[in-house]
Amino acid sequence: MTIRPMTLPNDPHLFATLQALATVMERNACDNWWVIGSAAVALHGGDPGQMGDVDVIVSLQDFSELESHIPLADTREGAGAAFRSECFGCWSEPAIRVEFMAGFKLRVGDDWQPVQPRTREAITLDEHKIFVPERGELIAILHSFGRAKDLRRATTLMGV
């Protein structure tokens, strides 16, 4: 696992949210976890574009632990047909909403394929660590999502 200092995000709301996330995960997570999506792009130094939330992949066990310690709302009613999770919860206390997903899957044709990063890079944020897939794997994940916003984010990472 690579550990590197973080380029501080320009957005103070993202910085505060990541600090809150790191604190909660340090207290409650036993298994590996990853920030993906727009926040991970920002942590790698890319341009995330519009950031509506911070996406976090966790284990089923850690999801249960988080659910017993922080208020999580299941807001999947409006979720798209391309993604699903065995467990899903939104934590709205931080400045930017945090979405926890356990058993996260992507629809590929008629099948559902797990989205489970294999690489893990720790990015230091003050005294905390935030974990993301390594840049190449994050680019591949974003491409697999196939949405225009994810493809734009992947492109910004290729030039970093």
CATH number at residue 44: 3.30.460.40
User: What's the CA gap between 115 and 143, in Å, rounded?
Assistant: 12
Residue at token pair 């890079």: 121
Tell me: pLDDT of 125 over 60: yes
* Mean pLDDT score, 73-98: 86
Of the ranges 42-56, 67-81, 127-141, which one carries the lowest mean pLDDT score? 67-81
Q: Which residue has the higher pLDDT, 2 or 64?
A: 64
Residue 58: pLDDT above 70? yes
Separation between Cα atoms, residue 104 and residue 37, nearest integer Å:
13
d(CA 114, CA 66) in angstroms, rounded, equals 21
Domain assignment of residue 85, given as a range = 2-158
Residues of the chain with pLDDT > 90, as a percent, come to 76
Q: Say how many domains are in the chain.
A: 1
The pLDDT assigned to 49 comes to 87
The model's pTM is 0.91
Q: Which residue bears the tokens 């996330």? A: 21
Q: Under a CB-based contact definition with an 8 Å cutoff, are residues 115 and 103 in contact?
A: no
